[in-house]
Structure 1
Amino acid sequence: MVGGGLGPVNIIVSTLIEAENVLPLLLEYKNTGRAVNLLYGFPPTPGAVERLSLISKAIGPNGLSLLVDHPDQLSAVLAIHSNTSIAPQIFLKVDMGARRAGVVPQTEACSNLIASLLSLESAGKAHLLGLYAHAGQSYYGSRRSEALDFLRQEFEALLVTAEAVHSIAPSKHLILSVGATPTTTSIRNLLIDHEDAGAVPTEEGNAIAALRATIAAIQLQKCTIEIHAGVYPTLDLQQLSTHALPTEGPHAMLTWNDLALTIVAEVASIYPGRGVNGTLEALLGSGSLALGREPCKTYPGWGILTPWNRPGVKMPSTRPENYVGWQVGRISQEHGILVWSGEGEPEELSVGQKVRVWPNHACVAGAGFGWYLVVDETREGKEDEIIDVWPRWRGW
């Protein structure tokens, strides 16, 4: 994802174990002459100081970034500086309505925190690199226009905060970093608008125009825009359900074929007539430990069977909310119950049959496993051949 060449390598992690394991790769990039920066995407606590200090020492100046949203976190920032003699880079985390983390913009608390960070920068003990927002509430959207509007709101929350910074330090350059996966994904709508304006309905067109205006205002503030990563390299049913990009038609960019992560499981038992209206149910050897227990707003289940190893079954052609077929309808710790959703006659399943399940949330489902087995569906006749194994870093 960082690409080749000599450009910067900027990586965000959410746990210390991820930071420690990705460190050797960052050092490889650094040794080739690339600038590297690791953002620990959680406010620093006293218990994290020692491990973050070791990471900062290993990467060197300008290598470690931290999220801050409360003045009491600055003691950890100062402790890291004291341990390393390296000023940590700081992103001020801004709450733009998700109410998960962040300081609310245009409040006294925000103004005081900005002043404190700039004071630490003047003392050489930290460097305010930028502002950071994450629209977690964008997961509940169902239209392209909603995802685009959440992206605009992320930018606008950071824009007003940048103006507050510039009221104290007019020449201060800032990176404005935004993106939950639906908003990160939605920015590709601008490509459709550019290439084929006729393909953009009025609602989406208005949202795009508003977003472009906000981006222009940011550029006037001399700020750099950064779109940070989420689950979009793999995607999942939650993302498909946001419809942040076209899901059908000539400009489709978010489809069932784009869901990269699946969980392989075996059918363990069959229960004829036990389901709704006398339909078949089946016992699946994957439960909440394998699939997670995160719901998807468009259907009541915990995963949907892919067509893999199901002769005659094709890729779904409808939206998730209209899906007809096998889904994980009930779930326990180690197993799930496959139920038939919708009209039609359920296809037969057999004991021992291997199936693949699209999980609702790929991040949570992936955490149940020690590795990813990588296959390439474009290799005709070898679609199931494992071409790589990616270890998964679990824990904290």
Structure 2
Amino acid sequence: MATQTIDDLPTPALILDRAILRRNLKRMSERLLSAGVMLRPHLKTAKSVEIGRMAVEGHDGRITVSTLAEARYFADGGFNDILYGVGIIPSKLGAVTELRRRGVNLRIVTDNLSVAKAIAAAAKDGDTFSVFIEIDSGGGRAGLPFPALPGLLDIARVLHEVPGVDLAGVMTHAGHSYHQSTPDGIAAVAEQERLAIVTAAEKLREAGIPCPIVSAGSTPTAVHSRDFTGITEMRPGVYVFNDLDQEYIGACGAGDIALSVVASVIGHYPHRNQLLVDAGALALSKDISAQEFQPKVGYGTIADPPAAGMAVIECSQEHGFVAADDPLPYGNLPIGARVRILPNHACITAAAYDRYYVVDSDLDGGRSVVDVYDRINGW
């Protein structure tokens, strides 16, 4: 059978450049190893056992996930230390115990006293739990707000005093780092993140409550933090692929984006200097995060464009409207021609697909499909 290339794939299709992926993984791994901080990659981005195994090479294998479906999938793939990084509710504790009974150390998160009490009540008949208390370090999503940290000790005591519950530590996510675009700006958020989580840990220890793990992390803060003192692990996620948002934030370079969507040209419209491709909102997502710093990216930019500034400027469900700053060279982009679109937000773009078609730009410029990786979707 002839080698399959990206021109042979049904479109739209999700393309992963293995060479760039490996460089991204190596860079983050070396950074955290040199800082003396454990890496717990957030695999909500990749959702792939193959990529997860590459991400933890040289580390102890701990990971983060964002759904119970991911937790089951990675447990089946041999991962044993898994942080489910979304606030737990009592009705999901049964699913947690199913995995823990298999010997998987599935850890959970809460910032709520009533949930802490429900966890404590469920720790019986041999069932145990490992719990992190979430801290809001400024992102305003979830967690006990810093610096007040209301209820921290009350929640911690409920968890610590039950024999079947391990209070694993505290965790935070500096999501507000995504609204910075300079190293100094991101470093300032990283210090805010560090101060919040380390202060919470110290408050627990001063009350006689152990706090072994101090968990922080976003890709920008992992890249630009200038001080990891007191942090024991970091949980970056999108660094495995990177995307346009990370490029314009300054967490990666233009050549560090490993993920793209290959689409086919399906229409020419010279009267408006546009063409249509068969990748629309479902194939690309309508995430516009990268527009905060570069409005012209639209819903994704064209890789190696034959005209300056080519981007998907609008999309309907299955149609992408491509325009450019210069006149489009329609002769170079006949009907059926392939283009690759770089995503604004890799995590959300990838969520539409059940597999990665893997290429390697170090081998033949990334034309041949060298592997296929599966991925888990759903909840």
Q: 1:76 Cα shift?
A: 4.3
1:346 correspondence with 2:290: no
In structure 2, the CA distance between the partners of 1:3 and 1:17, relative to structure 1 (3 Å rule), is closer
Q: Distance in 2 between matches of 1:233 and 1:4?
A: 13
1:150 correspondence with 2:189: yes
Q: 1:267 — aligned with what?
A: 265
Among 249, 255, 260, which residue is 1:242 paired with?
249
Q: 2:129 — aligned with what?
A: 88
Q: 2:85 — aligned with what?
A: 41
**Amino acid across the alignment from 1:47:** S
In structure 2, the CA distance between the partners of 1:106 and 1:87, relative to structure 1 (3 Å rule), is farther
SS in 1 for 2:78: helix
SS in 1 for 2:318: coil
Residues 93, 103 of structure 1: 8 Å contact kept: yes
In structure 2, the CA distance between the partners of 1:384 and 1:81, relative to structure 1 (3 Å rule), is farther
Q: 1:69 — aligned with what?
A: 111
1:395 correspondence with 2:346: no
Q: Which 5+ residue runs of structure 2 have no aligned equivalent?
A: 1-53
Residues 117, 159 of structure 2: 8 Å contact kept: no
Q: 1:282 — aligned with what?
A: 275
Q: 2:76 — aligned with what?
A: 24
TM-score by structure 2 length? Answer: 0.79
In structure 2, the CA distance between the partners of 1:374 and 1:89, relative to structure 1 (3 Å rule), is same
Higher relative contact order (CA 8 A, sep 6+): 2
In structure 2, the CA distance between the partners of 1:51 and 1:123, relative to structure 1 (3 Å rule), is closer
Residues 95, 102 of structure 1: 8 Å contact kept: yes
Q: Distance in 1 between matches of 2:63 and 2:271?
A: 51
1:225 correspondence with 2:207: no
CA RMSD of aligned residues (A): 2.1
Q: Distance in 2 between matches of 1:363 and 1:393?
A: 12
Residues 133, 177 of structure 1: 8 Å contact kept: yes
Among 338, 351, 355, which residue is 1:367 paired with?
351
Aligned length: 320
Among 207, 211, 224, which residue is 1:186 paired with?
224
**Amino acid across the alignment from 1:24:** D
Q: Distance in 1 between matches of 2:206 and 2:173?
A: 24
Q: 1:112 Cα shift?
A: 2.9
Q: Distance in 1 between matches of 2:137 and 2:56?
A: 30
Among 192, 208, 221, which residue is 1:169 paired with?
208
Q: 1:111 Cα shift?
A: 5.0
1:57 correspondence with 2:98: no
**Amino acid across the alignment from 1:272:** P
**Amino acid across the alignment from 2:245:** Q
In structure 2, the CA distance between the partners of 1:4 and 1:340, relative to structure 1 (3 Å rule), is closer
**Amino acid across the alignment from 1:327:** A
Q: 2:14 — aligned with what?
A: none
* Percent of matched pairs sharing the same residue: 30
Residues 178, 228 of structure 1: 8 Å contact kept: yes
- Farther-moved stretch of structure 1 (352-361 vs 70-79): 70-79
SS in 2 for 1:232: helix
In structure 2, the CA distance between the partners of 1:57 and 1:111, relative to structure 1 (3 Å rule), is same
Q: Distance in 2 between matches of 1:375 and 1:126?
A: 45
